[in-house]
Amino acid sequence: MTDIPKIILRFILLVILQVFILDNIGINGYVNPYVYVLFILLLPMETPNWLLLILGFITGFTIDVFTQTLGMHLSATIFLAYCRPLALKLLSPRGGYDFGLNPNLQQMGINWFVTYAAMLIFAHHLFLFFVESLTFAGFFSTLFRSVLSSIFSLIIVVIFQLLSYNNKKIKI
């Protein structure tokens, strides 16, 4: 319960970062990082599934209001929220997760976190870029864009995680 103010603060910071800084970054119209997905990735393990979807809805809607693309980030972020429990299940250690863990780099280690983030970020970006183009006409160009952008987003997400914790505490 004590985490709630922290989560709200993280939401505001990530939206500001996304809308005012990252939306202005890009290379030749191909790469466009979407780091706001980190908000969904870092929600506590015990978050109920229905709440995940609702929070995905709120996050996507907020980004859509700022970027004037009603429905685009909304659908992609809901999809991301839907995929998260599946990814957690896939990556669960033998005997399941300990109670009270957060899926972040500090508590889960760098290998686990990078695998987890890469899977979900790619799912989100692929969905987003196909919804954006609303066609399978330029299939490989869209695929290329999502792969490149995913790599870029993943790098930023990992750097963020490394910066927000004391390095000595991370288990490798």
Nearer to another protein, 49 or 92 (CB): 49
Q: Round to whole Å and give the CA distance between 156 and 135.
A: 29
Q: Round to whole Å and give the CA distance between 19 and 45.
A: 27
Can residue 66 be called a binding residue for another protein (CB under 8 A)? yes
Can residue 136 be called a binding residue for another protein (CB under 8 A)? no
**DSSP H helical segments within the chain, as ranges?**
4-16, 38-41, 49-67, 72-90, 105-108, 110-133, 139-164
Can residue 30 be called a binding residue for another protein (CB under 8 A)? yes
- Answer for which of 11, 57, 97, 160 binds another protein (CB under 8 A) is 57
- Answer for which of 3, 12, 13, 71 binds another protein (CB under 8 A) is 71
Number of residues that bind another protein (CB under 8 A): 36
Q: Round to whole Å and give the CA distance between 96 and 89.
A: 9
- Answer for which of 6, 138, 155, 159 binds another protein (CB under 8 A) is 138
The CA-atom distances, in angstroms, between 60 and each of 18, 73, 95 are 12, 5, 34
Cβ atoms 169, 144 nearer than 8 A? no
Can residue 133 be called a binding residue for another protein (CB under 8 A)? yes
Site residues (vs another protein, CB under 8 A): 20, 23, 25-26, 28-32, 49-50, 53, 56-57, 60, 65-72, 74-75, 78-79, 81-82, 85, 131-134, 138, 141
